[in-house]
């Protein structure tokens, strides 16, 4: 004789967080949230300060593109689960790397 059992159900409230801020805070804690946020803010600050300092139009264009792309991906990540898609997370890393490399390029004398 085979008996069917019903799966146990829980009355607990299950909430799925789909935005990067609260999700990172819950999963990594305050320390992980501060480390990740400060790394992004330092990278953005470096790119913006280099954008204001540099005079080469090509470097300024690359930096402007990287700053706007970083800001647009961050804005999108705060309203949708953008970085759950590996291609978007990789693209974000590439954009940050390009901006940091462009901000550290040697100056023409």
Domain that holds residue 73: 20-103
Does residue 15 fall inside a structural domain? Answer: no
If one counts the domains in the chain, the total is 1
**Cβ contact 51:99 at 8 Å:** no
Does residue 10 fall inside a structural domain? Answer: no
Q: What's the pTM?
A: 0.75
Does residue 34 fall inside a structural domain? Answer: yes
Does residue 5 fall inside a structural domain? Answer: no
In this predicted structure, the answer to whether residue 1 has a pLDDT above a threshold of 80 is: no
Does residue 6 fall inside a structural domain? Answer: no
Does residue 81 fall inside a structural domain? Answer: yes
Write down the pLDDT at residue 11.
60
Does residue 37 fall inside a structural domain? Answer: yes
Residues 6+ away with beta carbon under 8 Å from 66:
47, 95, 96, 98, 99, 102
pLDDT digits (tens, 9 = 90+) for 34-46: 898 899 999 999 9
Does residue 8 fall inside a structural domain? Answer: no
């Amino acid at each position: 004789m085979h008996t069917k059992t019903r799966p146990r159900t829980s009355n607990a409230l299950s909430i799925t967080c789909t935005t990067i801020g609260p999700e990172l805070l819950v999963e990594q804690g305050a320390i992980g949230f501060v480390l990740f946020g400060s790394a992004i803010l330092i990278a953005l600050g470096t790119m913006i300060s280099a954008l204001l300092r540099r005079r080469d139009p090509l470097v300024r264009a690359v930096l402007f593109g990287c700053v706007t792309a970083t800001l647009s991906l961050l804005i999108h990540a705060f309203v949708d689960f953008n970085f759950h898609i590996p291609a978007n997370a990789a693209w974000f890393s590439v954009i940050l790397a390009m901006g940091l490399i462009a901000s550290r390029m040697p100056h023409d004398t």
